[in-house]
Amino acid sequence: MDLDAKVCYCFHVTKRKLLHFLRLEKPRVASQLSECGGAGTGCGWCVPFLKQLFQQAARGGATDLERLTPAEYERLRAVYIRAGKGTPPPGATPLPPEG
């Protein structure tokens, strides 16, 4: 996933913005990433990825974001939401068509 790909589809927060926030603000806990444009406070899909980015900033290593294409990430989010595990807020990126 490239730097300009969205991580939080509910509030349109990109990987680049999150990494910049991590570098500048140096949050103490992963939940403080919500201060970056509200990331993780919508449907909840991106929370595990936010935790991985936080851990990566603290300890290095790779995240699942490096292994997923933006299309795969978007598809998996749609599966998550359609399974009733989260509800996107108004203004969130719409789900792709089922298929």
Q: Over the stretch 23-80, which tens digit does the pLDDT of each residue have?
A: 999 999 999 999 999 999 999 999 999 999 999 999 988 899 999 999 999 999 999 9
- Domain assignment present for residue 95? The answer is no
Total of domains in the chain: 1
Distance CA(13)–CA(77), nearest Å, equals: 15
* pLDDT given at position 17: 98
What spatial distance separates the first Cα and last Cα of the chain, rounded to whole Å?
22
Q: How confident is the model at residue 98 (pLDDT cuts 50, 70, 90)?
A: confident
Q: How confident is the model at residue 2 (pLDDT cuts 50, 70, 90)?
A: very high
Structural domain of residue 42, as residue ranges?
6-82
1 pLDDT higher than 90: no
- Domain assignment present for residue 63? The answer is yes
- Domain assignment present for residue 97? The answer is no
Q: What are phi and psi of 7, to 5 degrees?
A: -100, -45
